[in-house]
Amino acid sequence: MLDTPKANRLHIAIFGRRNAGKSSLINALTGQDAALVSPMPGTTTDPVFKAMELLPIGPVVFIDTAGIDDQGELGELRVERTLRVMDRTDLALLVVSPPAGDLSMEREWLEGLKGRGIPVVGVCNKVDVGGMDLGGLEGELGIRFVPVSARTGEGIEFLKEAIQEAVPEGWERDTIVGDLLSPGQVVLLVAPQDIQAPKGRLILPQVQVMRDLLDHRCVGVMATAGELGVSLEFFRRGGGYPDLVITDSQVFHIVKEKLPPEVPLTSFSILMARYKGDLKTLVDGARAVMSLKDGDRVLIAEACTHHPLKGDIGREKLPQVIREMSGAELGFDVVAGNDFPRELRGYSLVVHCGGCMLNRKHMMSRIMRARSHGVPMTNYGVLLALRSGILDRAVGMLLPSG
């Protein structure tokens, strides 16, 4: 995967007094040992910009703001440094850890952030230590606090959920495939011969992918599976293979047969799963089908509230597929539209539709909820890719390691 330019990363500033646990919170969120962590107050003395992956939210820059609290710093200098950080902040974490004591510093930060319209997520760290009155803290500062322990990992998934919900508009992932490519690369798009769109149209993912290629200065070559031979011959004469092949899932096997294993190959539905949600979570969720046991309950969630048809995919076909794959006797609930449950902990698996009617932010908040509740979640396209044996090849280039 190519690097996301720093300017395109969500900048998350972490405000909190010395030793509130800001650096170890970054480590807990990213699973990386990114900041120098020390129990001595003020180890980090300057704002530090750290480009990292905050999974599953995406590429971010953490701004570790240690050293801008009111200890040992002249008032004016401190204010100026704080302002400089806030100017570059898209979302802020306000970290408090026991003992809370005087909250005037936190109140000042909060005021500055709110004045700039920057969303703030309150984090009450070190809950494993105890000694903090969460309700009192929330009452005093007027925002919600997520209780976590950066040390034990407790509450970290809930914090990610809260961060995801606070991500401002316009900071959504807005590329489907262009981030995997360099300008001038040539991509082959394969449609089934029986094009499943009304006369004169293409299905939306084909249009979206082509537009994304053009936006990223790539060249898109489009053909149906029937012209696959002609297309590949065209590439071969040009001296090689496409830099990437994206195919309709229906003809994945035909396309796979014609491509050497080193040519990157994926499907429109896998790319859309990555674009609309978190591919890693959805892939793990699909694999969790194999571990379902008798008596487990599965939630099937559809974004559209369409009148169920005979042979409806959510109500009939998918339950059948999941029963066959798992070999287990399962119970199914189907929800549609906005009825996605607040509480998912009674389920062993959530299977969502592709979510073409939901934006990424909405779909991600559902995925984050499943993660917070420890429930595997997948979607129709990823599950069907697993079942037809194409998942490994189709996600190969999209996930860091299988």
Residue 277 beta carbon to a copy of itself: minimum distance, rounded to whole angstroms: 16
Total interface residues for a copy of itself by CB under 8 A? 36
Residue 249 beta carbon to a copy of itself: minimum distance, rounded to whole angstroms: 17
Q: Which of 211, 297, 306, 317 binds a copy of itself (CB under 8 A)?
A: 211
With contacts defined by CB under 8 A, name the span among 26-34, 61-69, 219-227, 307-315 that binds a copy of itself: 219-227
Which bin fits 254, alpha (ψ -120 to 50), beta or left (φ > 0)? Answer: alpha
CB closer to a copy of itself out of 48 and 221: 221
Residue 281 beta carbon to a copy of itself: minimum distance, rounded to whole angstroms: 23
Residue 202 beta carbon to a copy of itself: minimum distance, rounded to whole angstroms: 5
Q: Which of 219, 288, 313, 335 binds a copy of itself (CB under 8 A)?
A: 219
| CA dihedral over 167, 170, 171, 173, signed as positive or negative | positive
Indicate the burial class of 15 (C-beta count within 10 angstroms; 0-12, 13-18, 19 or more): buried
Task: Please report which residue ranges of 119-155 form alpha helices under DSSP H.
Answer: 134-141
Does residue 254 belong to the site contacting a copy of itself (CB under 8 A)? no
Cβ atoms 123, 148 nearer than 8 A: yes
Task: Please report which residue ranges of 142-203 form alpha helices under DSSP H.
Answer: 156-166
CB closer to a copy of itself out of 162 and 225: 225
CB closer to a copy of itself out of 25 and 209: 209
DSSP 315: I
DSSP 117: T
Site string for a copy of itself, 181-210 (x = CB under 8 A): --xx-x----x---x-x-xxxx----xx-x
Does residue 281 belong to the site contacting a copy of itself (CB under 8 A)? no
Residue 258 beta carbon to a copy of itself: minimum distance, rounded to whole angstroms: 15
CB closer to a copy of itself out of 129 and 214: 214
Residue 180 beta carbon to a copy of itself: minimum distance, rounded to whole angstroms: 17
Does residue 213 belong to the site contacting a copy of itself (CB under 8 A)? yes
Cβ atoms 36, 22 nearer than 8 A: no
CB closer to a copy of itself out of 222 and 313: 222
Does residue 311 belong to the site contacting a copy of itself (CB under 8 A)? no
Which 144-183 residues touch a copy of itself, going by CB under 8 A? Answer: 174, 183
Task: Tell me the C-alpha distance between 187 and 192, whole Å.
Answer: 17
Does residue 288 belong to the site contacting a copy of itself (CB under 8 A)? no
Does residue 212 belong to the site contacting a copy of itself (CB under 8 A)? yes
Cβ atoms 164, 364 nearer than 8 A: yes
Nearest alpha carbon to residue 113 among 137, 93, 136: 93
Does residue 248 belong to the site contacting a copy of itself (CB under 8 A)? no
Does residue 86 belong to the site contacting a copy of itself (CB under 8 A)? no
Number of Cα atoms under 13 Å in the Cβ half of residue 249: 21
Task: Please report which residue ranges of 101-250 form alpha helices under DSSP H.
Answer: 104-115, 134-141, 156-166, 204-215, 228-237
Residue 303 beta carbon to a copy of itself: minimum distance, rounded to whole angstroms: 17
Nearest alpha carbon to residue 59 among 93, 26, 10, 1: 10
Question: What b/e string do you get for 196-233 counting C-beta neighbours within 10 Å, with b at 16 or more?
Answer: eeeeeebbebbebbbebbeebebebebbbbeebeebbe
- CB atoms closer than 10 angstroms to residue 349: 25
Which 223-242 residues touch a copy of itself, going by CB under 8 A? Answer: 223-224, 226-227, 230-231, 234-235, 237-239
**Which residues here bind a copy of itself, judged by CB under 8 A?**
174, 183-184, 186, 191, 195, 197, 199-202, 207-208, 210-215, 217-224, 226-227, 230-231, 234-235, 237-239
